[in-house]
Amino acid sequence: MAANWKMFKTPAETTAFFNDFLPLVNDVTAAEIAICAPFVDLPTAIAATAGSNVTIGGQNLYWAKEGAFTGEISGPMLKAIGCTWVIVGHSERRQYFGETDETVLRRTKAAIEAGLKVIVCVGEVLAEREAGQTEAVLAKQFEGGIAGLTPEEFAQIVIAYEPVWAIGTGKTATPEMAADAHKAIRALAATKFDAASVRILYGGSVKPDNVASLMAQEDIDGALVGGASLDPVSFSKVVKF
Ligand code: PEP
């Protein structure tokens, strides 16, 4: 169960979140819990969760290890401060910051080389769903962004299916829609990799009151949660659905 805080919370708000959140989830053993926070909050989040059952990740990285890339953060930097995870290819990065399937693959490989585990995001926009192109879009994103991994690299990723029209909109894919997409993604993965063990998260307006019906679907292994992860009580309810 992964949180994507997007561009929310200061370090002080991060401390306050973990003061409330950790006691609510310290008995959780059935789920792996990850919080992907803004870069400036990562040292605070990592210190706050030391020795707990919660791991921390970034929301993006650049593929070079270091260099003249003003404003960027590398995989080795995230690893050095104690990150376990990084999100790559979130739809907001694709939409606002020019992320492509090709750059998703470059970032994913760089993150894995640095020793990070990667949450790779895929998903269609509303016009593509309405045009009946969901599976074709997923296939293109898989071919360009994931199929170029080696089997060893593939073992280090989690795939997040996030229909773009359901992110931050309050609209959730029905459990059946999500299940169909997850099944299609696992079938794509099976053409190249050992797909049975890859975890596929659903993301898009997951909340305490809809998480159980989504998680009941066979190919949905977890959730990537934006808005509902900002509040400790709400995210603890998602985690403990
Ligand atoms: C996300 O940011 O990945 C996300 C799924 O957001 P929300 O839960 O707010 O739709």
pLDDT tens for residues 39-65?
999 999 999 999 999 999 999 999 999
pLDDT at 13: 98
162 CA closest ligand 1 atom index: 5
pLDDT at 129: 94
* Residue nearest to ligand 1 atom 4, measured at CA: 226
User: 62: which DSSP letter?
Assistant: B
Q: Taking 90 as the threshold, does the pLDDT of residue 173 lie above it?
A: no
For the chain, what's the residue count?
241
pLDDT at 172: 83
Active site residues: 90, 162
Of 79, 81, 16, 27, give the one whose Cα is nearest residue 54.
Answer: 27
In a mutational test of the pocket of ligand 1, which residue from 1, 4, 93 has the highest number of ligand atoms less than 8 Å from its CB?
Answer: 4
Q: Taking 90 as the threshold, does the pLDDT of residue 171 lie above it?
A: no
121 CA closest ligand 1 atom index: 3
CA 164 to centroid of ligand 1, rounded, Å: 9
Q: Taking 90 as the threshold, does the pLDDT of residue 234 lie above it?
A: yes
CA 128 to centroid of ligand 1, rounded, Å: 19
Question: Is the separation of the CB atoms in 232 and 21 below 8 Å?
Answer: yes
Question: Which CATH number does the domain 2-23+31-239 belong to among 3.10.20.340, 3.40.50.2300, 3.20.20.70, 3.30.70.120?
Answer: 3.20.20.70
pLDDT at 193: 97
CA 163 to centroid of ligand 1, rounded, Å: 10
| 52 alpha carbon, distance to own chain's centre | 20
In a mutational test of the pocket of ligand 1, which residue from 207, 224, 231 has the highest number of ligand atoms less than 8 Å from its CB?
Answer: 224
Across the range 66-82, mean pLDDT stands at: 98
Question: Is the separation of the CB atoms in 218 and 228 below 8 Å?
Answer: no
pTM above 0.85, yes or no: yes
